[in-house]
Amino acid sequence: MAPTPHPHIPPPMAPTSHPHVPPLVDTTQQPHAGHEQGNTKKKIQLTKPGVFEMRHGERIIVPFDRQLRAYGEATSLLSSTCGRITTNSNNVLINLDSWPKVPKSYKDDCFNILKVHVESAERYCSLCMSNKYRNEKMNLWNRVYDTSLSREQLIANVPDGIQKDQWSSFVDYHLSEEYKKLSKRNIEVRKAQKIPHTGGAKLLSTKQHEMVIILNLGRAVGRGELYIETHKKRNESYVNEEARSIAEKMTQEMSQSVNSNEISVDDCVSKVLGKDHSGRVCCLGLGGLHSVAFQSKTRFSNAGHNFSNSGSVESSQLKEEVICLKEKLLTSEENLKTLKSVTVAYIQMKEGHIPHELGVMFGNESNVISGQELPTSRGGSSLDSNFHGV
């Protein structure tokens, strides 16, 4: 199914029954054509639905730290906006297994709505969209699934705003044995997690930056300190004995380290909890990736600072670009090889043989059949005579 030519902007959400003070965020207004003044910045209180009602040229400023993670008040607006865009079936089909399997054209439509202007921020936004897409599909299924209903009854109960063919495919996937096995495995993984955290819905990146300011440390906050802080209750006791034991081991490791707040493969978190696998990094939260965190010896940034590990970030981005270019080159080579084979077969059929000039041009592709003589039609193109007659 082809993507809609005009990406759909979700309607404003219904007001919540719980009072909530809109976050105070920084915005910038681009100058109009013909005006020489630069961008103007100001602070405004902005609700989540209000993001889609902003004036033309007005943008929300979302700060990012050295780990390329968003933080601060504007982050919740960014996350919510990503969710409202990707969970609308007019923008992204709901019957796809996961976000990585969403066609690029749909993702491009989502980013055109979001209007992200920094490449490093696109990676973070893509992670947000992936999480929101997965969670919303799971929540939708939990709302409608009833063991007493048959497949036909579930398919007949199409939610508003979702096309029937998408919904039918969505139901079939969630009733499949593949999904049941995956769901069972995820349940077992969640049961194996014995240590809850007290961070709530707040991002670890925001929590880390708040600790720098509130505690007035005058330095960056390390992964170990962040782990300890997010596994304590309000009365300063730990959530359980296992968390207390881990925190004590981390505290001992930090006391023996000169740079305890530095992220590395040998910091207190790695020593106590084990080495991080490729992908996400423990105690960094959404956006914290192995390729960025351990590219070089990097410290957490303080709030308001610009990127200072640009060399490692650029190196990581260059590696990703090289891999992408290699894949494109491989695909192009395969396509060219196929095109050569088809062209040789067509000329062989029309002419009965491959002219020497074309044999040299096509190389190995023509060697297989160039010695064969096939009958040609009287109305053939006579490519051989064209080559020799010039």
pLDDT score, position 388? 42
Residue 299 pLDDT: 42
Q: What was the pLDDT predicted at 63?
A: 86
pLDDT exceeds cutoff 70 at 300: no
pLDDT digits 0-9 by tens, 103-146: 999 998 988 888 876 776 888 888 899 999 999 999 999 999 99
On the question of pLDDT at 12 being above 50, the answer is no
Closest CA to 54 of 76, 89, 30, 37: 30
pLDDT in tens, 61-77: 888 888 788 888 888 88
Which tens digits make up the pLDDT trace of 370-384? 444 444 444 444 334
H or E segment at 214? Answer: helix 204-214
Cβ 32 vs Cβ 57: under 8 Å: yes
Q: Residue 184 pLDDT more than 70?
A: yes
Mean local confidence (pLDDT), 160-175: 91
What are 44's strand-pairing partners? 25
Nearest residue to 312 via CA among 252, 256, 257, 264: 264
